[in-house]
Chain A
Amino acid sequence: MKPSSEFFKDGASLRVTGKLVEYSVETAIAIIVDGNVNLKIDTQHLRELSIRIGSIYQFIGELLVQSDNEATLQARVGRNVDGIDLNLYHQSLQLLRQFQADHLNKRTN
């Protein structure tokens, strides 16, 4: 995740999806990748989650941004989503955000 992202805020609750490319058993830190963006995930609270390098995972948690702008998602929920259609996911997400924004605009006008 890049600091220029609108979601790059300390404490922000986020849901992230990506391919798990690295995992440290000692620290329980995983790295997921989506396109050319990667993000560190702290999985220490997800003891029941079975980790498999190369699988697609979705995590929900809070973003911890350190002073050097290094971000880690403190995951409280995680699941393997192998089989997800990522193209459909990204396109649907755009529609969802637009739909939600339209509804909020309608309500405030």
Chain B
Amino acid sequence: MNQRQRLSLYHTHIKLLGFDLNSLNQNSSSSSSDAVSFSRNGYAVSCTEIVGVVVSHDLKPNRFLKFSVDDGTACVGCILWLNHLTSPYFASRHQPDVRIMGNMATHFASQIRVGIVVRVRGKFSSYRGVVQITVSDVVVEDDPNAEILHWLDSMRLALKCYDLSPAPT
């Protein structure tokens, strides 16, 4: 895999294990309040996919749902925003799109409860210095082997793709 292909991982939902995700490097920029960037093994990353058991659930209606996913290696904090119709962040966006996003988020939130296994995709973000996932979509996994297959996928991808060569200097 060449440098260009490695860099293309930036927009990929990389499959990570919890312990690996929690140890990503965070780089803060003073130029913007939300300009925390993330890197793994020297390469910039932005999106991820994890699979695990929901072990905590904290819902603030019309604001957010915070939940934790335990994949057997660590717990990962996740935040699913539910404030699409009230947040100024979305005010300048195309409102029909915002409504669809809001409805999807509400649907995801209604499915999440402690004890189920979920596949979560989203972007890395940082809260009080700890890496978390700002959730973009959630799939409830009914297959009892889903978590095991995600372990194997994550290890295979780390060994054959994400870890292949030393970071560029």
Q: Which residues of A are interface residues toward B (Cβ below 8 A)?
A: 15, 46, 48-49, 56, 58, 60, 76-79, 81-85, 88-89, 92-93, 95-96, 99-100, 103, 107
Per CB-CB distance, the 5 closest pairs between chain A and chain B, nearest first, are A84-B144, A81-B144, A83-B144, A92-B148, A99-B155
**Distance to closest chain A CB from B41 (angstroms):** 10
Q: Given A95-B152, A96-B155, A100-B17, is A76 in contact with B73 using a C-beta cutoff of 8 Å?
A: no
- Contact residues on B (Cβ < 8 Å of other chain), bracket: 20 to 34
* B151 lies within 8 A of chain A by Cβ: yes
Q: Which residues of B are interface residues toward A (Cβ below 8 A)?
A: 17, 19-20, 23, 53-55, 70, 72-73, 114-117, 143-145, 148, 151-152, 155, 158
Cross-chain contact A15 with B117 (CB below 8 angstroms): no
**Distance to closest chain A CB from B73 (angstroms):** 6
- A77, A83, A92, A96: the one contacting B55 at CB < 8 Å is A77
Cross-chain contact B151 with A92 (CB below 8 angstroms): yes
> Can you list 16 A-B contacts with CB-CB less than 8 angstroms, sorted by A residue number?
A46-B115, A49-B115, A78-B115, A79-B116, A79-B117, A83-B144, A84-B148, A89-B145, A92-B151, A95-B152, A96-B73, A99-B17, A99-B158, A100-B19, A103-B20, A107-B23
The CA-CA distance from A82 to B23 in the complex, in Å, is 33
